[in-house]
Amino acid sequence: MATMQFNQFNAFDDDADIQAGNQTDKVHVRVQQRNGRKCITTVAGLAVDLDIKRICKAFKKNFSCNGAVQKDEDDGEVVGEVIQLSGDQRTNVMEFLVDQEICHKLEVVLHGF
């Protein structure tokens, strides 16, 4: 009986991961439900050489929302900084990052409902 060779295609691979590179170079934009209708948008994975506080200030001014920069810790050591914005600002953040050429569209991953 002859063995058949099939294409080694995995349907569960994310196409954006293959095109943009490794998962570590991505900017993750998530929305977290607080209580009731309230939610928080978090932006993680921005490059270390960027001025995160200045980007947060621009987000707050352009989107008319409150925001803060938090240190992201993993087992007691600081991994990076995360921007927290009030409200669901996922699409606004993605458009801003692409328009200001902070990162490419393929590097931004939107999470949430």
Q: Is the model's pLDDT at 77 over the cut of 80? A: no
Give the 3-state secondary structure of residue 29: strand
What separation, in Å, do the N-terminal and C-terminal C-alpha atoms of the chain show?
A: 49
pLDDT at position 11: 60
Greater confidence (96 vs 15) lies with 96
pLDDT tens digits, 2-39: 666 666 666 666 554 444 444 458 999 999 999 999 99
Q: What is the largest CA-CA distance in the chain?
A: 68
Q: Supply the mean pLDDT for the chain.
A: 84
State which amino acid sits at residue 105: K
**CB 89 within 8 Å of CB 41:** yes
CA 35 to chain centre: 22
pLDDT at position 20: 43
pLDDT tens digits, 50-62: 999 999 999 999 9
Query: Which of these, 75, 92, 107, lies nearest to 31 by C-alpha position?
Result: 92
- pTM: predicted TM-score of the whole model, two decimal places: 0.75
